[in-house]
Amino acid sequence: MSGIDYNALAADYAAHRQIHPGVLQALREGSGITRASRVLEVGCGTGNYIVRMAELTGCDCHSIDPSDQMLQVAHRRTSAVSFTNARAEALPVAPHSCDLVFSVDVIHHVGDTAAHFRSALRALRPGGHLCTVTDSEWIIRNRQPLSQYFPETVEVELRRYPAIGRLRAEMAGAGFTAITEQLVEFPYRLTDIAPYRAKAYSALHLITAQAFERGLARMEHDLLNGHIACNSRYALLWASRAGGSG
């Protein structure tokens, strides 16, 4: 991964990054979690998803992230979630202790994705679920508005994001079963481009200043019409830990 300082981005992420409604709904409905479940989010950032999961379900919620600044922001939001500085390749939980392990837009930051999936399998109880929320090549090429206004991000992101086929193969290699893919969408109207001005999306730190300014100028021009039509999409890779002691 490039040398982006995510500690320095914590405030912008907290201010501008929002929960994707389709992802949140899918995590709740697809995993079958209840108040008695134990959930671990990998790469929680400032805590948007795990905090909301705790609020909605009342289950035992834990999360990890390698950024101290992100975790400090997350910790200030709630005392109902356990936040730990750790990495995805070595999840700091007891074997067979979790019902759901999930990550949202994080897998491209993981240095050894196969090691992460092995660690996730170890963390899950028999019958537990893994959900890796990421972007496919098609999603990256058709992002609205990111790829539309900043086309230079496309090749940058295709180099960063692991291919869906590779992730599925690594999940299977780790021992996961019932591997499936789900697409979620959220159409919306963008009326404030402050998150783009603040570069609250990491790809904007990886293109030239000229490309960034060109895209921002196009967004500002199109906003004169009142809004920009957008559609936020994610690919959810679901997998299960088979029953038995494994």
Strands 124-134 and 228-240, sheet pairing: antiparallel
**pLDDT (mean) for 109-118:** 97
> For residue 246, what pLDDT is reported?
39
> For residue 10, what pLDDT is reported?
47
Q: Which residue has the higher pLDDT, 95 or 3?
A: 95
Give the residue carrying structure tokens 């899918």. Answer: 26
Closest among 102, 112, 120, 93 to 174, alpha carbons compared? 120
> Is the separation of the CB atoms in 63 and 74 below 8 Å?
yes
Distance CA 60, CA 98 (A): 9
**pLDDT (mean) for 34-49:** 95
Distance CA 94, CA 116 (A): 15
Closest among 214, 170, 223, 165 to 193, alpha carbons compared? 223
Is the pLDDT score of 16 beyond 70? no
DSSP state of 144: B
- 68-101 core/surface letters (b: 16 or more CB in 10 A; e: else): ebbbebbeebeeebebeebbbbebebeeebbbbb
Q: Which residue has the higher pLDDT, 171 or 202?
A: 171
Q: Is the peptide bond prior to 145 cis by the omega test (within 30 degrees of 0)?
A: yes
Convert the pLDDT of each residue in 53-112 to its tens digit: 999 999 999 999 999 988 999 999 999 999 999 999 999 999 999 999 999 999 999 999
Distance CA 128, CA 241 (A): 5
Q: What pTM, to 2 d.p., does this model score?
A: 0.91
Is the pLDDT score of 18 beyond 90? no
Domains annotated on the chain, with CATH: 10-240 (3.40.50.150)
Is the pLDDT score of 118 beyond 90? yes
**pLDDT (mean) for 192-205:** 92
* DSSP H or E segment with residue 121: helix 113-123
With cut-offs at 50, 70 and 90, classify the pLDDT of residue 8: low
**pLDDT (mean) for 19-30:** 94
